[in-house]
Amino acid sequence: MRPAKDDFKQALAFRKVHNEVLALRPEAAAQDDASQQPRFVPLRACSNIGGYSTVFLPGSSPSFVIKTSKSTPKVIGLCGVGVRGLSSFHTEGCDHGFIYADSNGVARVSQFHANHNFDLGVSVQKIPMPMNIQQVTFHQPTGTYVVGGSMLETFELPKDDEHHKEWAKEKAGTLQPKVPRGHVLLLNPITWTVIQDIELEPCEDILCMKSLELEVSEMTKQRKMLVVVGTGINKGQDLPIRGRIHVYDVAIVIPEAGRPETNKRLKQIAKEEIPRGAVTAVSEIGTQGLMLVAQGQKCMVRGLKEDGSLLPVAFMDMSIHVVAAKELRTTGLCVMADSVKGVWFTGCTEEPYKMQLFGKSRPKLQCVTADFLPDGKLLFIVVSDTKGDLHMLQFDPERKCSVPCLFPAFSPPRVVFGTLIFLTT
């Protein structure tokens, strides 16, 4: 017999206990003097710090609680050591800043960046760019950013096409279409200014860009961090789309007068023409400094030679359009996502050079991107499709996977669990 609800109300009693001391981190608590009495430090409300109405939380983990009209309350930590107390501070040299005393007894005056906002819970700075930005990669050895963008320009029929000589006599109409033209920009991360702007050929657009550690010498086996740019050249539906691979190095040069940030320039190391299909994805692969290039309906492993050419050593035929190619670092295991036919799990061997297919996902999976998610001895593949769903696939060669299918219970974005389909001979 189940007791009534009134019996529970009479048997249970609750009492509110106020916790006036916040818990410290374990390492901070171990350094405290046992004889020192704990002191209650209340929250501090500041009406105007950098234009924000904030509440400050002192202690070993100092933080600001910020809420704007466009966001929910966000907690943003203050870098450095612990804080004993804080107050707003506004002078001619510090516009609506704050002053605080840290745990070492040092008074510090600080302020928020004027061009940063905290709507997302992190410090975000917007940098105006002269064009539409599509790709961004970081070149770690020089600490610079390489950005791929495009600008619209008027489309003109190719005048030198051998199969369509009548195009040379065509006159430009009044309503000419606009097509993107790619630009490769080199940015300085301190001043956020454009150091160099490389303009690509007409109708050539940037589709992928990544910093890869490639082998640059076959004799010394030297490796270097280079920037690989994959493009597509589309001159209308009457001509097949072509691709191109650009390999750049960020070199140290003599800066311009009055501009010390211009001491770095992009130097082209290699340039490879792809007669069929655009270059849609690039990635490192293997342990010998090779690159994996998705060009048209093929995924090809290429090596950089000293003469600036890219030698193909292995390939695999794909289905329709490869949108992502990722490698599990230094293992040779790759995941390649097709925009219509799902995910392919492959591997590349180096002696001899060969690409082998291990498994496929369901053929009707329309992928946007994919990546590896290793967990100990388990290997998962995360896939995002055109519907906004996240698919979790497990590599299970022994067929021991017992992950249930949970997608009916979730609303987009959903998580769909499954296994790869293995090919056997």
| Confidence bin at 335 (pLDDT 50/70/90) | very high
As a whole number of angstroms, the distance between CA 97 and CA 406 comes to: 50
Range scoring the smallest mean pLDDT among 4-8, 284-288, 398-402? 4-8
Q: Is the pLDDT of residue 154 over 90?
A: no
As a whole number of angstroms, the distance between CA 232 and CA 234 comes to: 6
* Structure token digits, residue 251: 């070199």
Unique residue bearing structure tokens 């950005």: 147
Q: Is the pLDDT of residue 187 over 50?
A: yes
| Confidence bin at 173 (pLDDT 50/70/90) | low
Give the model confidence (pLDDT) of 95-139 as tens digits: 888 988 888 888 888 888 878 888 888 888 888 888 999 999 999
Are residues 199 and 268 in contact, defined by beta-carbon separation less than 8 angstroms? no
Are residues 347 and 334 in contact, defined by beta-carbon separation less than 8 angstroms? yes
* Structure token digits, residue 121: 């819970």
Q: Is 83 exposed, middle or buried (0-12, 13-18, 19+ CB in 10 A)?
A: buried
Count, in order, helices (H) and strands (E) of the chain: 2, 30
User: pLDDT over 70 for what percent of the chain?
Assistant: 80
Are residues 284 and 213 in contact, defined by beta-carbon separation less than 8 angstroms? yes
Report domain 131-159+176-317's class.
mainly beta
Mean per-residue pLDDT of the chain: 81
Q: Is the pLDDT of residue 212 over 90?
A: yes
Q: Strand 242-252 vs strand 264-274: parallel, antiparallel, or unpaired?
A: antiparallel
What is the edge-to-edge ordering of all strands in the sheet holding 290-295?
A: 279-285, 290-295, 298-304, 310-317
Unique residue bearing structure tokens 């329309």: 366
Please give the biggest Cα pair distance in the chain: 96
Are residues 382 and 367 in contact, defined by beta-carbon separation less than 8 angstroms? no
Phi, psi angles (nearest 5°) of residue 24: -90, 165
Neighbours of 304 (CB within 10 A): 26
Q: Is the pLDDT of residue 251 over 90?
A: yes
Mark residue 50 as left, alpha or beta (left: phi above 0; alpha: psi -120 to 50; beta: remaining): left
- CA 341 to chain CA centroid, Å, is 24
As a whole number of angstroms, the distance between CA 29 and CA 23 comes to: 9
| Confidence bin at 423 (pLDDT 50/70/90) | very low
- pLDDT score, position 421: 41
As a whole number of angstroms, the distance between CA 310 and CA 228 comes to: 12
Total number of residues shown for the chain: 425
My answer on whether omega of the bond before 275 falls inside 30° of 0, hence cis, is no
* Residue of 237, 232, 231 whose CA lies nearest to 164: 237
Of the ranges 124-128, 160-164, 235-239, which is most confident? 124-128
- pLDDT score, position 266: 95
- pLDDT score, position 175: 77
Q: Is the pLDDT of residue 180 over 80?
A: yes
* Structure token digits, residue 341: 């036919």
Task: Tell me the chain's radius of gyration from C-alpha atoms.
Answer: 29
Give the model confidence (pLDDT) of 388-414 as tens digits: 888 888 877 766 555 433 232 223 333
Q: For residue 81, what are the β-bridge partners? A: none
Supply the DSSP string of 23-53, one letter for each residue: PPPHHHHHHS-TTSPP-----EEEEEETTEE
Q: Tell me, what amino acid is at 414?
A: R
As a whole number of angstroms, the distance between CA 185 and CA 198 comes to: 6
Q: Is the pLDDT of residue 189 over 60?
A: yes
In the 8-state DSSP scheme, what is residue 330?
Answer: T
Q: Is the pLDDT of residue 33 over 80?
A: no
Torsion sign, CA atoms 131, 133, 139, 140: positive
* Structure token digits, residue 401: 């996977």
Give the model confidence (pLDDT) of 367-385 as tens digits: 999 999 888 888 888 999 8
Q: Region 342-352: what's the mean pLDDT? A: 87
Q: Strand 116-117 vs strand 353-360: parallel, antiparallel, or unpaired?
A: unpaired
Phi, psi angles (nearest 5°) of residue 408: -65, -20
Q: Is the pLDDT of residue 73 over 50?
A: yes
As a whole number of angstroms, the distance between CA 213 and CA 334 comes to: 17
* Structure token digits, residue 39: 């002191």
My answer on whether omega of the bond before 352 falls inside 30° of 0, hence cis, is yes
Are residues 249 and 269 in contact, defined by beta-carbon separation less than 8 angstroms? yes
- pLDDT score, position 306: 86
